[in-house]
Amino acid sequence: MCQINLHGVILKEKERKILDASLKLFVERGFHGTSTAEIAKTAGVATGTLFHYFKTKEELINRLYLYTKESMLCESSKHYDDKKTFKENIKELWLKFVHFGINEPYKFQFILTFHCSPYITSLTKEQVETHAEGMLGIYKNGIQKQKIKEISFEMIMDYFWGNVVTVVTHFEKYPEKLNEKNLDMAFELLWDGISK
Amino acid sequence: MCQINLHGVILKEKERKILDASLKLFVERGFHGTSTAEIAKTAGVATGTLFHYFKTKEELINRLYLYTKESMLCESSKHYDDKKTFKENIKELWLKFVHFGINEPYKFQFILTFHCSPYITSLTKEQVETHAEGMLGIYKNGIQKQKIKEISFEMIMDYFWGNVVTVVTHFEKYPEKLNEKNLDMAFELLWDGISK
DNA sequence: TACTAAATTGACTAATCAGTCTATAATGTA
DNA sequence: TACATTATAGACTGATTAGTCAATTTAGTA
């Protein structure tokens, strides 16, 4: 459900093609390494059409950021489930991100590369809730139940996200190793690190 | 000792200034986002001088990669010390990388950003030994002494390096949190993850 | 000193860039 | 149908780019 619209706005077909072409090219060659002419050509539209939908190249990358980040977050918006153990709750969230990274490598890489870049305005960043939302509930719960170490929320957050990135990158590098057993082992590295 | 020369070749002063200016600008604005004119201006030389030392912009970034990566590796070339415990050995290596990242944020960020970029040729990558060298000895030792989990070397390597990146990035974001206690806690996250 | 090679300069160039503009086609609406 | 709005196209433009080149200075050597 959460695929063709962005903040509730349905994307036109050519707009979509431009975003998809940009995603591929920005990841492969970077922002300045990709010309608007190349994007238009890859998307199969004229440059005029590109600038009809996106006023500037910067607006294009900002809209692309919203597009990719929402695509990731809508996969992982679930909240804490009391019927499952604490560890299972964390693992579920972890797996959602890891699967997103594996199934959508371009979107994942784009978020990684550009979430700290100067082209993405702070206004854009404010428009998407961070992936911290899901984690905050889990963190409070974990501290309260004394399941996780007494480490600051910021540290756990960065550690959790860093672990997701590591694991996704690892299985991208060694795709033949991707199976449930290795995925479980990778999660244990994280879990044994943060749990008491 | 290992600062002004590169593969034993001593750098001329202007060559040095060009590399330093490039490092700053490439990290801040990216490869294509930085013009050779800007680099020359920042370095205080003419564009002709830049192209006298570096045939092309690509050669410049490749030499810069060698320069930064050697700068990192020469800080951490020590081998396994049997007088210390296994954990202490790992921690020492870990701290070397973390300190490098904190003390040389531009070099660290440059390596992070460009080690997977298409501008760095595979020939260049072959010229610097990977940071795997120091780790391999530790890994074999750890498996043999049954101190670490039975996980593939590649996974442990990626996990170790991912952790270094996470920790450096974290303390860059929250510099007020940088102290020995928090550094120790950060290491425990890694250690408890990989140790049996 | 006299000669050579290397270092340094900055004006210059062909190519490429983001973005514009005018014309035309498609779509919606009354 | 008649009219207005939106979508699409691609040639075009002024600015910027990586890299060149001829002229000049500096450094090394005999």
Domains of chain B: 5-56 (1.10.10.60), 71-194 (1.10.357)
Q: Do B118 and A152 touch (CB under 8 A)?
A: no
Place of tokens 């425990």: B188
Q: A164-192: per-residue pLDDT in tens?
A: 999 999 999 999 999 999 999 999 999 99
For chain B, what is the radius of gyration of the CA atoms? Answer: 19
Residues from chain B contacting residue A191 (CB–CB below 8 Å)? 193
Q: Would you say residue B32 has pLDDT above 90?
A: yes
Matching residue, tokens 């391999």: B136
Are the beta carbons of A190 and B193 separated by less than 8 Å?
yes
pLDDT for position A20: 97
> What span, in angstroms and rounded, lies between the C-alpha atoms of A138 and A82?
11
Beta bridge partners, B6, equal: B9
Burial (CB count within 10 angstroms: exposed 0-12, middle 13-18, buried 19+), residue B22: buried
Chain A residues within 8 A of B151 when measuring between CB atoms: 185, 189
Burial zone of A83 (CB within 10 Å; 0-12 exposed, 13-18 middle, 19+ buried): exposed
SS3 A44: coil
Give distance CA A109 / C1' C15 (Å).
Answer: 31
Q: CA A5 → C1' D14, Å? A: 37
User: Of A78-92, B58-72, B97-111, B149-163, which gets the smallest average pLDDT?
Assistant: A78-92
Neighbours of A145 (CB within 10 A): 10
Q: How high is the pLDDT of residue A78?
A: 64
pLDDT higher than threshold 80 for residue A75 = no
Assess contact for B93 and B135: CB atoms under 8 A. Answer: yes
- The set of residues, in sequence order, having a beta carbon less than 8 Å from that of B82 and lying 6+ positions away, is none
